[in-house]
Structures are given as structure tokens and as C-alpha cells.
Amino acid sequence: MTSTSNTTASANTATQGRVALVTGGSGGIGRATVERLVADGYSVAVHYSGNRAAAEETVAAVTAAGGSAIVVGGDVADETAMATAFDQTEAAFGGIDVVVNTAGIMILGPIATLNLDDLDRMHRTNIRGTFVISQLAANRLRSGGALINFSTSVSRTKFPTYGAYVASKAAVESISLILARELRGKNITVNVVAPGPTATPLFLNGKDEQTIENLSKAVPLERLGQPEDIAETVAFLAGPARWVNGQVIYTNGGLA
């Protein structure tokens, strides 16, 4: 057996029996994360906000393949609904070891003309939602646990029209990195994944083929990321990466 195989086997052994809650787990990066964590031996709560059918389909696919998963729902910015989602996860699996917060919305437009209602809606989900999930995770994760929030590599690239979105994600980074320091002594890690251009509906929506081609060529690896690329980083932070804490991991193929 190669050293790579040994490493993989060790990681799977270490994560067997752990429990994860994945917000936005029914599509895109969230679904890829669910599938990866289940493959690593986790039981997973698949959270949805507006599309229960997609979450149920994800759970059905996981369980058909021999995994263990349930559906939980609610607005991530609603602390009562999210406390219930945590309750349901604990009731089903006995506790929570990992929270992966992929839930978020992206509304693009120049700062000079962006509708302020869109700004408020995006910031409610991305900032308040992250704060609610982070607060619950801080109080509910078991020792040895991990919280993984999501930002964006555009915080470095500074693409036009992303101003309001990047502002919300800068808040996510600040919340997460400060929480990592506040949880001293609890043996809980807090990190942020900042994907680059990734082929998800959230990213592709509203972009023409030329724009997508230009973005893919901007990456030294000359392709868009796939949800599975991001899930690989999440799986690392969720399980074996116990010495990575309070960091923003730019998973972007070398974009910036």
C-alpha cells in the first residue's frame, strides 16, 4: 500500500462515527461536501433553506449508497430555526462534531447603483446567518470539533460588481478568525474556505460563455474549480487538520 493510501485510510479511520451539519447542503459545493463527508464516514445533516425536495434527494442518494443522513431546514439567519436544526441533528446522531456553513447568496452590481434592499438581503444571509451558525457551533460542537465558514477569493482579486458581496464575506472572515481565538481551550477549530471560480449554479448564473471562459483562463490551472475540489479542502479541515486553526484557505487553483 502506498503512503497516500495509508494517509487516506488513517483519515477515514479518524473520521468514522463523526457527525456533520452542512448548511446549504442540497446543491453545489454543499452537496459535494455532504457526499465527501459521508464517504469519509460521517453521519450528515443536510440543511436546506428553500428547496426541501433537493435536500431530500441528496439524503436519498446518500442513504442508497449506504451512508447516514437526515434533512434539516430553516433560514440560517433565524436563530430559533437553526437551534432546532442543531437539536434535530443531535437527536438523530447523538452530537455534532463538524459544522460546514456553505449557505449564502450572491447579488452582483456596481456599488454606485446596487439596490440597497439587495444589500440588506445579502447581508442578512451572509453576515447574520454566519453569526447565528457560528454562535450555535461555538456552544454545541463537541471537543475535537470544527467549524468551517465560507468566504470568496474575490476578496483578493477585487473584481468589479462584487463590492457588496465581498463586504459580506469580509465580515465572515472576521467573525471566524476572532471566534477561533475566543474558543481557546475548547479544542474546536474555526477556519474559512475561500473558493475561486467554481462551476456551481450560484457562480454560473447570469454569466455569458465568454465571461466564464475568461475566468477559467485567469487561473494558472486553466479551468474552473469543481465542487469536489472545494469539498476536498473542507474534508481536510473537518477531520485531520487539527493544527490548522483561525485561517482563510484560498482554494482557487492559484488565482490570487
Report CA 6 to chain centroid distance, whole Å: 27
User: Of 29, 16, 12, whose CA–CA distance to 149 is shortest?
Assistant: 29
How many angstroms separate the CA atoms of 168 and 22, rounded? 20
Question: Residue 153: which CATH number?
Answer: 3.40.50.720
Asked if residue 77 lies in contact with residue 129, where contact means CB atoms within 8 angstroms, the answer is yes
The CA–CA distances, whole Å, from 226 to 31, 203, 241 equal 12, 11, 22
- Per-residue pLDDT at 13: 58
Decide if 162 is catalytic: no
- Which residue blocks in the chain are alpha helix, DSSP H? 3-15, 28-39, 52-64, 79-93, 116-123, 129-140, 154-157, 163-182, 201-204, 209-218, 227-238
Residue corresponding to grid cell 450555535: 136
Degrees, nearest 5: CA angle 211-194-24: 90
User: Angle, to 10 degrees, between the axis of helix 227-238 and the axis of helix 28-39?
Assistant: 50
Decide if 89 is inside a domain: yes
Decide if 256 is inside a domain: no
Decide if 156 is inside a domain: yes
How many angstroms separate the CA atoms of 89 and 85, rounded? 6
Max CA pair span of the chain: 58
- Per-residue pLDDT at 3: 42
How many angstroms separate the CA atoms of 42 and 100, rounded? 13
Decide if 16 is inside a domain: yes
The amino acid present at 85, given as its one-letter code, is: A
Catalytic option among 48, 162, 165, 250: 165
How many angstroms separate the CA atoms of 173 and 244, rounded? 15
Number of domains in the chain: 1
Question: What residue numbers bound the domain in which 189 lies?
Answer: 3-251
Q: In which region does residue 33 sit, left (phi positive, over 0), alpha (psi from -120 to 50) or beta (all else)?
A: alpha
- Per-residue pLDDT at 4: 41
Q: Within the chain, how many helices (H) and strands (E) appear? A: 11, 7
- Per-residue pLDDT at 235: 98
Using 70 as the pLDDT threshold, list the residues of the chain that sit under it.
Answer: 1-14
Asked if residue 31 lies in contact with residue 92, where contact means CB atoms within 8 angstroms, the answer is no
Asked if residue 227 lies in contact with residue 28, where contact means CB atoms within 8 angstroms, the answer is yes
Adjacent-strand bridge partners of 22: 46, 100
- Per-residue pLDDT at 9: 46
